Structure 1
Amino acid sequence: MSQVVIGMPEVMRADPANVEQARAWDGDEGAYWVQHADVFDRALRAYHDAFFEAAGIGPDETVLDIGCGTGETARDAARFATNGRVVGMDLSAAMLRKARRRAVTENLSNVVFEQADVQVHPMPREVFDVAISRTGTMFFADVVAAFRNIAAALRPGGRFVQLVWQEPTRNEWFSDFREAMAAGRTMPTPPPGAPGPFALADPDRIPAVLAGSGFTDIVIRGQDAPMWFGAEADAAHRFVIGLLGWMLEDLDEGGRAGALRALRDSLTRHEQPDGVFYASATWLVKAVREA
């Protein structure tokens, strides 16, 4: 049985296993993304063209954007689907409000946004031609349930395109930030496959999960690209502290000061004339719903 999670002002039904994710994204985490939407979007800009090339959205197609956040990918999908329709879904009411405002500002009338937990949301059956998700599918507590629900919403032969992170060791931004904020501590590591940024990092797991959810013709392509974290080190430092400051909560004053210095040193080393960049690696995953 799903549980009710109350947002501001939406009421959403969430899978019981996904309630903590819903509370986080519909709470402080979602609020931070809203405040810094442009930074988060620019951070992933280097992956944009390949992602939409893989999606191949046509002018008459209907598109589902999963974990759409503040709506950049949904709005861009709407520009491709000029005669079609785009539905963006996310757990965060605050991010969806931002997405709706930006769609209005950009005069996009063919995109709508819904607050939903895709694991349990009653999807319309066989409606969408394409489902897309830019780093949004790794947070499901039950990824098979979510993918089956997405498959049911796609027409037979419909496409599902995801961008997910490769393992942490391939993502310099994660390993460097984590090392700095750890301040010499041993930080706990989530078990493989646990909901979080790297839940789908194992390329051997992805085909099994998709095949078990009603997908075929699975193609996985590795990509490397620089991620942007700010125009200069000071701005990037403020951004990362706001994002990861919770990692400092159990440190004493000296430990906290040391972690902040280590983070600033890392960011300064990665400062270039046009911003602060870190190496990153993703999997671009494409699959087709079984006929």
Structure 2
Amino acid sequence: MRDIVNTEQAQAWNGYEGDHWARNQDRWDAVNGGFDAPLLAAASIDEHDRVLDIGCGAGRTTRLAARRASRGHALGLDLSAPMLERARPTARHEGLDNVTFEQGDAQVHALAEGAYDVAISRYGVLFFADPVAAFANIGRALRPGGRAAFICGAHPEDNEWLRAFDALRGILPVGGFGAPGGPGMFSLADAGRTRGLLSDAGFERIGTERVEAYGIWGRDAADAAGFLLGSGPGRHLMSQVAPEVQDRARHRLTEILRPYERGGAVRLLSTALLVTAVHPGRDRHPADSANSSTGPQGCGRTVRSAGL
């Protein structure tokens, strides 16, 4: 992979984190799939569109976009070789011949200028070392008037899975799971800051909206607890304590999740920020600036997806 500036993230997503997500992609899609419908609706993908999927992972959203752009094309871009190694054969198995995948750092990857009608991402734009540079690079890849729609993590306290982790304080060294400012799950949770970053990168008509969806974390409380504690944040916390403390944490988290068991699954509510924007491109008419909107000044209304 050439031209990497986000080296820390490249190491993570080509190490344990990438391997874990590739092995468990079906489970992660069950967790996050409730956000697919609002993301794709906001992107308004046409059958002839050329779609760029940033941080595509194992390619679920890329494949969904390709089906909508049935006479167009979808490119999935991601840092993670393990996840792309799963994405490519899955697309072939599903008979999609209008999908390609590339490994690269979206902040600097050489994307063809003006080649895409729309850029999308489901939790894939949260880890940039320099978000303005990354969004500017994505903007250059869009045609004049090209659209963008991104799902980003909202504030931690609005996510039930993180509240479950927080209840383990006193057993595990639970701290912050990232905050607006640096790369991480909640780097774009502050809607005002996110609008500012996109504006600085050249985007206009920027809007933000809170969306909610239930995700399936496991078939029962014990299964969900094991999955949570084996994920990146959980594994990091468990690695800092003795085996007997790990057992206590696993038992406690199972008890915390037991009330969420229903219908043969553990369903937890997650809240995200749906960000939309338009890139004017080089052909912007001066009048467009006067007519453009930077979107609402708050997070807007909250929309709950039916989810899974």
Do both proteins adopt the same fold according to a TM-score greater than 0.5, normalized to the shorter chain? yes
**Equivalent of residue 157 in structure 1, options 137, 145, 148:** 145
Unpaired runs of 5+ in structure 1?
Answer: 1-10
Shift in alpha-carbon separation, 1:182–1:12, aligned structure 2, 3 A: farther
Q: Given the alignment, which residue of 112, 129, 134 partners 1:124?
A: 112
Pairing 1:247–2:247 present? no
What is the CA–CA distance in structure 1 between the aligned matches of 2:151 and 2:116, rounded to whole Å?
A: 19
Going from structure 1 to structure 2, the CA distance change for 1:87 and 1:269 (only over 3 Å counts) comes to: same
2:39 paired residue number: 51
Alignment of 1:181-200 (within 5 A): 183=171, 185=173, 187-188=175-176, 190=178, 192-200=180-188
* 1:229 counterpart SS class: strand
Is 1:166 the counterpart of 2:192 in the alignment?
no
- Once residues 189 and 59 of structure 1 are traced to their aligned partners in structure 2, the CA distance between those partners, rounded to angstroms, is 39
TM-aligned CA deviation for residue 111 of structure 1: 0.4
Aligned twin of 2:205: 217
How far does the alpha carbon of each residue in 1:20-47 deviate from its partner, in whole angstroms, 9 at most, with x for none? 1011001110100111100101112222
> Percent of counterpart pairs with the same letter?
39
**Structure 2 Cα separation of the partners of residues 182 and 53 of structure 1:** 42
Aligned residues: 279
Superposed counterparts of 1:8-47, under 5 Å: 11-15=1-5, 18-47=6-35
Q: 1:138-169, CA deviations, whole angstroms, 9 ceiling, x for partnerless residues?
A: 11111111000000000010001000111101
What is the letter of the counterpart of residue 213 of structure 1? Answer: A
The correspondence for 1:90, drawn from 78, 82, 91, is: 78
Q: 1:184 to 1:22 in 2, by over 3 A?
A: closer
Contact 2:118 2:147 in 1 (8 A): yes
Q: Within 1, Cα distance between the matches of 2:172 and 2:15?
A: 30
- 8 Å contact from structure 2 (residues 160, 268) kept in 1: yes
Is the CA contact (8 Å cut-off) linking 2:168 and 2:249 kept in structure 1? Answer: yes
Inter-partner Cα distance in structure 2 for 1:190 and 1:245? 16
Aligned-pair Cα RMSD in Å: 1.5
Aligned partner of 2:128 in structure 1 is: 140
Q: CA deviation at 1:192?
A: 3.1
Tell me the amino acid that sits aligned with residue 279 of structure 2. R
Q: 2: distance between equivalents of 1:120 and 1:159?
A: 20
Contact 1:227 1:278 survives alignment (8 Å)? yes
Q: After superposition, give the CA deviation of every residue in 1:114-150 in whole Å (9 maximum; x if it has no partner).
A: 0000111111101100000001101111111100000
The CA deviation string for residues 206-253 of structure 1, in whole angstroms up to 9 with x for no partner, is: 110010001000111111221210122232122112212221122134
Question: Match for 2:218 among 230, 233, 254?
Answer: 230
Task: Give the TM-score, by structure 1 length.
Answer: 0.92
Shift of the 254–235 alpha-carbon distance from structure 1 to 2, 3 Å rule, reads closer
Q: Per the alignment, in what secondary structure is the counterpart of residue 110 of structure 2?
A: coil
Partner secondary structure for residue 150 of structure 1: helix
Provide the residue aligned with 1:264 in structure 2: 254
Partner of 1:279: 269
For residue 226 of structure 1, what is the amino acid of its counterpart?
A: Y
What stretches of structure 2 of length at least 5 have no aligned partner?
285-308
Quote the offset at 1:191 in angstroms: 5.1
Report deviation, 1:181.
6.7
